[in-house]
Homo-oligomer: A and B are copies of this chain.
Amino acid sequence: MQRHVVVTEIERAEPEVVDELGRAGAATVHEAMGRRGFVGAGFRARQRGARIAGSAVTVLSHPGDNLMTHAAVEQCREGDVLVVAMTAPSTDGGFGDLLATALQVRGVRGLVTEAGVRDTAELRAMGFPVWSRHVSCQGPVKVHAGSVNVPVVLGGVVVRPGDVVCADDDGVVVVPRPDAPDVLGAARDRLAQEEVTRQRFEAGELGLDVYGLRAELERLGVEYVDRLEPS
């Protein structure tokens, strides 16, 4: 009943859209989508300062096995991000510097995995960024079937092949491919607005005034008092 496939043709978003979403950063993109698409605080950047976006090539893998990750490399091209989901929880480090080399040669921008990574010092030296739940020496086998470029679930978020994966030090956000242009528009608006707000804050204005929150506080019954009486 369970079929294992490698899907070879996927649609990707426009490169310019992907790149500009990448520059906007994960937190801004997340807001621009209406606060959806964040895969959760469990996926941690294994380097500092990387900020990327790319088109998802997805892998659904048996825990502790990287056979399908190797199969996925062939499906990757310039501007992609490899997304590896597992059929059961695993801390194993099924991704290291050799696979990173194979991906970097093809122009892949980074990796997001539910399991672990290893060779983290080498990955940082290579400039190949990764986001993972775990770091682990435990290497993989190459014996279990799985799939490439099928929809997968990452930290509770559905990732379809070709979706735009945005990742930086704040985490990983997934933009459905069809929504990418609209999300970019909203992200641009948000960045412009944030810039205005930042200048007002730098000038000493308060969020209470900039966002008009004083009325909200009053409506909610929040009282201002000099000091608390002892209870």
Contact = CB atoms under 8 A, between A and B. Distances in A.
A122 B158 CA distance: 28
List the number of copies, as a whole number: 6
A71 to B, nearest CB: 6
Contacts of A225: 5-8
A183 interface: yes
A98 B228 contact: no
B101 A49 contact: no
B176 A231 contact: yes
A88 B91 contact: yes
B27 A139 contact: yes
Contact of A35 (B27, B85, B138, B142): B138
A144 to B, nearest CB: 7
A224 B6 contact: yes
Interface string A57-98: 000000110011011011000000000010111111100111
Interface string A28-66: 001111111010110010001101000000000001100
Interface string A174-216: 0010110011001000000010011001111111100101001
